[in-house]
Amino acid sequence: MSLTERKLMQMTLLFVILSVVIGTTSGACCHKPFNKHCADCAVGTPCCGYHSCNIFCCGCDCRKEPAGKHCYGRGDTCRCYRDNCRVKRQVSFATTDISAYETFTGLDINKNGMMEQFEFSRALEQMHITDNMTVFHHWLVMDEDRDGVITLEEFDREKL
């Protein structure tokens, strides 16, 4: 067998092996959607797969948000909440003033459709309201259902 035939045989064998290996891998790539955390808020090591992933975080079953929950990352932390109180709200302009909508979306820093305490505090800081008791009082007035976020509906509702 000549050197050319040997090289041709090696290339053919390599092609057959790669075809079989590539054909059997059907897993997804499981990169971390949040800084250090997977979609279910578990810490990635470094991939977010349930089984062994390859070096590119592919070829494995990806972690997903727990059923009935919505997870999001903020900085180095990750939190999961029940969907019934943490879903991104749809805007109904029939009951919402357009200027309230524009103000609300301008204050919603992470654009998740809800104003969280850090966004609320930052908005009050821009108005030069920094006293913690005053900020907390206004938060309690605005967050009527005490779910930890202010929705557009709560933001736009007249307060007594």
- Residues 79 and 100 grouped into a single domain: no
Task: Please identify, among 60, 85, 110, the residue that sits at the C-terminal boundary of a domain.
Answer: 85
Query: Is the residue at 20 inside a domain?
Result: no
81-90 confidence digits (pLDDT tens)? 776 544 444 4
Instruction: Tell me the C-alpha distance between 54 and 38, whole Å.
Output: 16
Tokens of 73: 């990352």
Tokens of 48: 């977010």
Query: Residue 159's pLDDT is what?
Result: 56
- Residues 145 and 92 grouped into a single domain: yes
Phi, psi at 150, each rounded to 5°: -110, 120
Query: Is the residue at 2 inside a domain?
Result: no
3-53 confidence digits (pLDDT tens)? 888 888 888 876 666 555 554 444 567 777 767 788 888 887 778 887 777
Residue that is written with structure tokens 């089984």 in the block: 51
Q: What 3 state SS string does 87-114 have?
A: CCCCCCCCCCCHHHHHHHHHHCCCCCCC
Instruction: Tell me the C-alpha distance between 60 and 114, whole Å.
Output: 33
- Residues 62 and 92 grouped into a single domain: no
Query: Is the residue at 14 inside a domain?
Result: no
Domain count for the chain, please give it. Answer: 2
The SS3 of residue 32 is coil
